[in-house]
A = this chain, B = another copy of it.
Amino acid sequence: MSEPLPFGTITILGPGLLGGSLAMAVRAAMPAAAIRLWARREATLQQALDMGIADAACTDPTEAVRGADLVVLATPIGAFRDLAEQIAPSLAPGAIVTDVGSVKNYVHRTTGAWLHEQGHTFIGSHPMAGSEKQGLEAAYPELFRGASIVLTNDHAAPEHTVDRLRQFWELLGGRCYLMESKHHDRTVARISHMPHVLAALCAYSATRGDVRMHDLQSLAATGFRDTTRVCSGSPSMWTDILWENDCAIREILHTCLDDLTELIRLLEIQDKETLHTWLEQARDNRETIIGGQ
């Protein structure tokens, strides 16, 4: 191997869809790296060992992080702070702690700030990859290939440290962007969380009022299927996301509410020309956002 590995021992806490895919991806891209896993349940760890994606697996987080130079929090965000308190005493000097949570300011304010106070290094990661499926069963090694990875360095870790983490994600096929956590949260509220809420709204409202389920079933086509796809995702996970990013989400949802109110008004006052402009603007926005990748 021409370049040295950014990390020799990587501990992943919580091998679900993201954590499990990460273990698989590391195994494939950095075969020389040691992978250590922690999960609450023995059965999950046994499954990971059977899949050959872990060199060590333990139900004790302090043991799992021992000797690791990269520790990845991959549980639900709500469990980060407790885990951080458990692992902190066992962290190797110079170890970097990161996460894969989809909200970053909340993580920095709670877990990151605490680790930083204890003298540890925390840099946030948000791989913009996922699926409406969940769990180790749904994991696959190519999940991060081509994905955008946001890195948030609110506690100002040195540049060479951020670079190591960037190199790690790039070896897995990701494209890294460094952002402030607040800025990240406002952007993903628009590009990921609002789409989820509107997809859910579409499915939620569809059955309300005087309409027969049988007719909805008969006539549902690809438009309904695609527009609502993401709302098949775990309600628990999404409740957490909406919770943890609630300021940025409420801001954009209030904008949505205003924009929807305006659209209904255009229909009511029969302003066909402005309605057309509105739909054109929507289409153009989509082309610009998607096409600019």
Taking Cβ atoms with an 8 Å cutoff, the residues of A that contact B are 128-130, 147-148, 150, 175, 177, 179, 183, 186-188, 190-192, 194-221, 223-233, 235-236, 238-239, 242-243, 246, 249-257, 259-261, 263-264, 267-268, 272, 275-276, 278-283, 285-290, 292-293
Contacts and interface: CB of A to CB of B under 8 A. Distances in A.
B235 A219 contact: no
Q: Which of A194, A239, A251, A278 has the most CB of B within 10 A?
A: A239
Nearest to A273: B239
B276 A224 contact: no
A130 B221 CA distance: 9
26 contacts: A128-B219, A128-B221, A150-B219, A187-B212, A187-B219, A188-B219, A191-B224, A195-B228, A198-B201, A200-B283, A204-B282, A206-B289, A209-B251, A217-B289, A217-B293, A218-B293, A228-B286, A231-B279, A232-B283, A235-B280, A235-B283, A239-B272, A250-B267, A257-B257, A257-B261, A260-B260
Contacts of A220: 191, 289-290, 293
Contacts of A219: 128, 148, 150, 177, 187-188, 191-192
7 cross-chain pairs, A with B, having the tightest CB-CB distances, nearest first: A217-B292, A200-B282, A235-B279, A195-B227, A203-B286, A204-B282, A235-B280
Contacts of A286: 203, 228, 231-232
A216 to B, nearest CB: 5
Contacts of A208: 252, 255, 259
A205 B255 contact: yes
Contact of A210 (B186, B254, B289): B186
A241 to B, nearest CB: 10
Chain A contact residues: helix, strand, loop or mixed: helix
Copies in the complex: 2
A263 B201 contact: yes
Contact of A194 (B202, B221, B257): B202
A223 B195 contact: yes
A254 B289 CA distance: 28
Contacts of A211: 186-187, 190
A281 to B, nearest CB: 6
Given A204-B281, A224-B290, A235-B279, 16 more contacts: A177-B218, A191-B216, A192-B223, A201-B263, A202-B256, A205-B256, A209-B251, A213-B292, A224-B289, A226-B230, A227-B230, A231-B282, A232-B287, A238-B279, A242-B267, A253-B263
